[in-house]
Amino acid sequence: MSCRATVTARLDPKATRATLEPFELVCPAGSLPALKAAVDNGADCVYVGLRDATNARNFAGLNFDDAAMATGIAYAHARHRKVFMALNTYPQATNPALWRRALDHAAASGVDAVILADPGLMRYAATQHPNLRLHLSVQGSATNHDAINFYHEQFGIRRAVLPRVLSMEQVEYVVTRTPVEIEVFGFGSLCVMVEGRCALSSYVTGESPNTHGVCSPAKAVRWQETPRGLEARLNGVLIDRFGSNEQAGYPTLCKGRFDVAEDRNYYAIEEPTSLNTLELLPKLMEIGVRAVKIEGRQRSQAYVAEVTRVWREAIDQSHLKGHRYIAKAPWMVSLEQFAEGRQHTLGAYHRPWK
């Protein structure tokens, strides 16, 4: 189907999902076992990263070397699944070669698409690897159709991952005004900053997820038992203090608790919570969203397996039952064990005050 035909189908109120492309489940893979778990439990696509600063989850012990990448791609392709490579950080003027080599490697390895944020790297990809499929990363912070269409016209972007700040009405508005496929986040950690523009980690540690690939780098994290509770520090800065009955989360500045007055200590920016849009699946399909993405390349193989399994079942049920679909209680209970703070939210998709 051509880009123009796709847009026409989306704009036609009589169009059905049969006239559009299949709805894809895109799942995280921070390791080869996680990739296999995603594929085995029903992922249509997995997204991966290399072991360097070219991806936004550059943690020690995570991601793929050349051998694991080749094995993972072969495993997915043998089962007719897709592999996307995240090259979604911003090259620095002193060393753009690292990112270009990574893109060359992606093209040579046979991945189905690369996920990019930097326009310069997009230009390099479009020039050097014109047959390589390009996706616009959420790190690109494109929240409107004009921005997305610009990337499409200039660099041939085929899909865009929307930041987690748009309401459902705004998502639909974008979908109907661009030939670019739209992918949205469905489950996982909820970023509360402007994605691709957050400077909080670099403020405290000197390393930004947008350039070094890490938010709260592990080398800067310290845990200490104290008489007042378990303290989490980031480069010496106290991020949170947990009581004996509290579940301790990984310390990030945006989700820490701070003294904001003499007698007040609370989550000043955002409480730890996870996005969970299971109940919105029929609407996402109806408005023409192309794919739903699960966050969590830094999470365990068990997380990937169970979350993928639940979402595969939910998507299949949504296809089968249409408007009669409901998010089953066992699905929600299963996902709750992986949610930050064991809390779920619809995030910006649902704004009851509007």
Calculate mean pLDDT across residues 36-58: 95
pLDDT at 56 > cutoff 80 = yes
* Confidence check: pLDDT of 237 > 80: yes
What's the domain count of the chain? 2
Ordered DSSP codes for 57-118: ---TT-SB-HHHHHHHHHHHHHTT-EEEEEE-S---TT-THHHHHHHHHHHHHT-SEEEE--
Q: Is 321 a domain residue?
A: yes
CATH of residue 113: 3.20.20.70
- 212 burial class (0-12, 13-18, 19+ CB within 10 angstroms)? buried
The residues, ordered by sequence, that sit 6+ positions from 113 with a Cβ below 8 Å of its Cβ are 82, 84, 85, 132, 133, 134, 135, 158, 159
Pair 187, 310: CB distance under 8 Å:
no
Taking residues 17-40, what's their average pLDDT?
87
The per-residue pLDDT for range 84-124, each reduced to its tens digit, is 999 999 998 888 999 999 999 999 999 999 999 999 999 99
Q: Is the pLDDT of residue 42 over 90?
A: yes
> Residue 147, Cβ neighbours under 10 Å: how many?
16
pLDDT of 320 > 90? The answer is: yes
Which pLDDT value is given to residue 18? Answer: 38
Kindly report, residue by residue over 184-210, the tens digit of the pLDDT.
999 988 776 667 677 788 888 888 777
- What is the mean pLDDT of the segment spanning 170-194? 90
Position 148 in a domain: yes
As a whole number of angstroms, the distance between CA 115 and CA 54 comes to 11
Residue 352: band (very low, low, confident or very high) from pLDDT cuts 50, 70, 90: low
Chain center to CA of 128: 26
Residues 25 and 138 in one domain: yes
Mean per-residue pLDDT of the chain: 88
Convert the pLDDT of each residue in 253-304 to its tens digit.
878 888 887 778 888 777 777 889 999 999 999 999 999 999 999 899 999 9
Asked whether residue 178 falls in the same domain as residue 110, the answer is yes
Does 310 score more than 90 pLDDT? yes
Residue 2 is predicted with a pLDDT of 37
Regarding whether 181 and 116 lie in a shared domain, the answer is yes
209, 240, 267 — which closes off a domain?
A: 267
Q: Is the per-residue pLDDT at 38 higher than 90?
A: yes
Q: What is the pTM of this model?
A: 0.86
Distance of CA 109 to the CA centre of its chain: 22
pLDDT of the residue at 191: 74
Q: What does the block give as tokens for 270?
A: 């955002």
Q: What is the pLDDT of residue 135?
A: 98
Helix (H, G, I), strand (E, B) or coil at 311: helix
Instruction: Tell me: do 130 and 7 sit in the same domain.
Output: yes
Do 140 and 57 fall into the same domain? yes
Domain boundary among the residues 211, 232, 267 is at 267
Q: Give the range of the structural domain holding residue 44, as residue numbers without chain letter.
A: 3-190+273-349
| Burial label, 262 (beta-carbon count in 10 A; 0-12, 13-18, 19+) | exposed
Neighbours of 145 (CB within 10 A): 19
The identity of residue 309, as a single letter, is R
